[in-house]
Every structure is written in C-alpha cells, then in structure tokens.
C-alpha cells in the first residue's frame, strides 16, 4: 500500500508515522486530545458511522491554550502534521482518530504515571504440580509466577529456576490491584488474548496469525525439572506468530486445548463450569495427558480426564481435531 499523507488518507508508512510523532509538541497535542476524550460519549463508540454528533471535538483556540506552545502559527504547523492520520478535523474542531487514540493508549498503558508496583508476594493458590505455595513477581512489564518448592513448567538450561508462567502485563494493570488481583487479571488478560490467537486473529493488530506445533520428539522430562532438550515440561507447544506486528505467544498444547468447546462441554457434563481465561486452566492443563501418535503426518492425542471419565482428542498438525472418543471410567481406563 502506498503511503499517502493528504488529509483524506488514513494510511501512513511506518517511517512517516515515526517522523510525525517524533516531536514533543505533537505528542503533547495527542495527549491533550486524549485527556479531553470522553469514553462515556456514545459518539465515540460509533465515531466513524456518523450516527451521532460528537461533543468532544476541541476548538483550535482551546487546544492551543491547553497545549501552551509558542505562537499560534508554529502551533498550527505541528497540529497540521497530525491531521489526517492521528487527528481528525471536523467543522467544530479537532479530535483523535482511531490511530491517534491507539497511540495514546499504547503510551498510557506502557508508561507509569503514579509508578504502581507490586512486591514479590505469595498467592493463595497451590502449585498445580506439587501443591506448594506459589509466588508472583513483577518485572519488565511481565508477571512471573513460580512455585516455592518445585521448578514449575519451564526451566532454565540447568533444569532449575523454573516458572509456572511468565506473561506480559501492562503496568497500568497494577493500579488499584493487590498482588492476588493482579495475578488473576494477568491470567484473564493473557488467556483471552491467546483465545484470539487460537481463533486466528492477532489480539494486537487483528492480522492473520501463523500457528504451528513445536514438538520435542525425544522428550524426557525429569522428576525435578523439565526436559534437557527443550527446557520445558510439556513435549508439545503451540507457537502463535503475527508477522505484521510481531506479536508472539506460545504455550503448552495442554493449555490451548482447554479453549475447545468440546472440552468445555465435557467439563460441563461433569458439573464443572470450566472458564478458559482463569487460573483453573493452568491447573487443569496439568491433568491433561499428551501423546505423540505419529510424526509424519503429525498426529497427537490429548486425553482430558474428569472423575475417571475420559475425553480423547486426536489432532493433526494444523490443530484440527480429527477424532473424538469419550470413554467412561469403566470402558476407557
């Protein structure tokens, strides 16, 4: 797609976008428009359908006064650089476009206004492998949860220092939350994003996703730690990549399979309301058995067990379920 910068165009090359944003005044303009943006206004939900007249546009003079920069000619020069892609000019004034809103949101989510932080904390949930207390720690925009006793699900190359999970969580998510609440919010935030990946849609940019299985065919996890070849406990991992925005996610297939409707129904039939975007998914994934049936073509079998009853799913290399067998505790053990 060709990069255009006229007012009617909403496309801009990445280089041009960086150039436009690489200026403090322009950034202050975006931030000011964001601060004046009212999420309660229904016009903002359907902004580009013209069903409502937004009351949130800001007049030139109001914007100029609030930003408080230089003479109005110079200010206008910077404002005009933003119009088209990041800022929309209407009859009444100026407002953020969707791209301008997303830039402001990314910066707000990624920066820390009041510097929220959480200390290392013990969470009131047991390790799914050994039952010992689990510990959460927040660093580099990631929440890492490890077991106080065992080496968890992923280990370093020595088979030690393992974690149960390390998942990204924006610092704004810490605001007003206890360590326990941040722990549950991290799981809800990430597992909902992972479900979008599984549905083939990048949760960041909505592009198509490349999904593949990463199989350790000579997998030998030890009692204490993971497999020396792949440093993890599970032999089969799902890798999700968005080539457009370079967002990635990966995790055990035993977790991904718990998003399947047939698994939810199986739990429901046993009186369990299984909610994928929760800690229960991590706990239940430890009770799912994985087996590599064939490598060419790839066929893997996952067995979910509830109260002695089993649900056996055979998957191909594209993660399609090609066979489903339900067994009772009498017939399938």
Residue whose C-alpha is closest to residue 40's, from 29, 56, 51, 53: 56
Measured from the CB atom, the residue of 84 and 225 that comes closer to Zn ion is 225
Residue-wise DSSP of 29-84: HHHHHHHH--TT-HHHHTGGGTSS--S--B-HHHHHHHHT-S-HHHHHHHHHHHBT
Enter the DSSP assignment of 173.
Answer: G
Measured from the CB atom, the residue of 227 and 304 that comes closer to Zn ion is 227
CB of 219 to Zn ion, least distance (A): 4
Measured from the CB atom, the residue of 166 and 204 that comes closer to Zn ion is 204
Strand spans (E) along 163-297: 165-168, 210-215, 236-241, 248-252, 289-295
d(CA 212, CA 240) in angstroms, rounded, equals: 7
Measured from the CB atom, the residue of 193 and 219 that comes closer to Zn ion is 219
Measured from the CB atom, the residue of 195 and 326 that comes closer to Zn ion is 195
Measured from the CB atom, the residue of 47 and 219 that comes closer to Zn ion is 219
CA distances from 332 to 157, 258, 315, 328 (A): 38, 20, 19, 6
CB of 59 to Zn ion, least distance (A): 36
CB of 236 to Zn ion, least distance (A): 10
Q: Which two tokens stand for residue 281?
A: 């998914």
State whether residue 88 is helix, strand or coil: strand
CB of 218 to Zn ion, least distance (A): 7
Measured from the CB atom, the residue of 118 and 201 that comes closer to Zn ion is 201
How many CB atoms within 10 Å of residue 223? Answer: 5
Distance of CA 172 to the CA centre of its chain: 14
Beta strand 309-315 with 248-252 is unpaired
Beta strand 121-126 with 87-89 is unpaired
d(CA 272, CA 275) in angstroms, rounded, equals: 9
d(CA 110, CA 328) in angstroms, rounded, equals: 49
CB of 149 to Zn ion, least distance (A): 5
- Would you tell me which residues interact with Zn ion (CB under 5 A)? 127, 129-130, 132, 147, 149-150, 202, 204-205, 207, 216, 219, 227, 229-230, 242, 244-245, 247
CB of 269 to Zn ion, least distance (A): 30
CB of 208 to Zn ion, least distance (A): 9
Enter the DSSP assignment of 25.
Answer: H
Measured from the CB atom, the residue of 204 and 264 that comes closer to Zn ion is 204
Measured from the CB atom, the residue of 29 and 288 that comes closer to Zn ion is 288
CB of 3 to Zn ion, least distance (A): 19
CB of 54 to Zn ion, least distance (A): 28
Scored b (16 or more CB within 10 A) or e, 69-95 reads: beeeeebeebbebbebbbbbbeeebbb
């Amino acid at each position: 797609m060709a990069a255009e910068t006229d007012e009617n165009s909403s496309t801009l090359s990445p280089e041009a976008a960086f150039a436009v944003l690489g200026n403090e005044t322009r950034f202050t303009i975006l931030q000011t428009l964001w601060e004046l943006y009212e999420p309660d206004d229904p016009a903002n939900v359907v902004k580009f359908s013209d069903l409502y007249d937004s009351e949130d546009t800001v007049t030139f003079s109001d914007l100029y006064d609030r930003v408080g920069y230089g003479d109005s000619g110079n200010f206008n020069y910077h404002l005009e650089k933003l119009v088209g892609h990041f800022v929309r000019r209407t009859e009444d004034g100026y407002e953020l476009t969707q791209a301008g809103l997303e830039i402001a949101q990314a910066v707000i989510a990624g920066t820390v206004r009041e510097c929220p932080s959480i200390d290392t904390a013990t969470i009131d949930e047991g390790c799914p492998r050994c039952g010992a207390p689990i510990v959460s720690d927040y660093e580099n925009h990631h929440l890492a949860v490890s077991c106080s006793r065992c080496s968890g699900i992923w280990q370093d190359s020595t088979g030690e220092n393992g974690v149960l999970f390390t998942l990204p969580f924006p610092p704004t998510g810490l605001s007003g939350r206890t360590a326990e609440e941040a722990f549950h919010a991290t799981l809800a935030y990430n597992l909902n994003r992972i479900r979008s990946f599984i549905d083939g849609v990048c949760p960041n940019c909505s592009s198509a996703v490349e999904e593949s299985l990463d199989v350790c065919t000579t997998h030998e996890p030890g009692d204490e730690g993971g497999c020396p070849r792949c440093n993890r406990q599970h032999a089969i991992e799902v890798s999700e990549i968005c080539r457009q925005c370079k967002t990635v996610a990966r995790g055990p297939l035993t977790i991904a399979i718990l998003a399947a409707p047939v698994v939810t129904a199986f739990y429901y039939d046993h009186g369990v309301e299984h909610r994928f975007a929760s800690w229960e998914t991590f706990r239940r994934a430890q009770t799912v058995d994985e087996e590599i049936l064939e490598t060419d073509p790839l066929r893997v079998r996952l067995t979910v067990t509830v109260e002695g009853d089993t649900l056996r799913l055979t998957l191909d290399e594209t993660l399609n379920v090609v066979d489903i067998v339900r067994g009772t505790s009498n017939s399938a053990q």
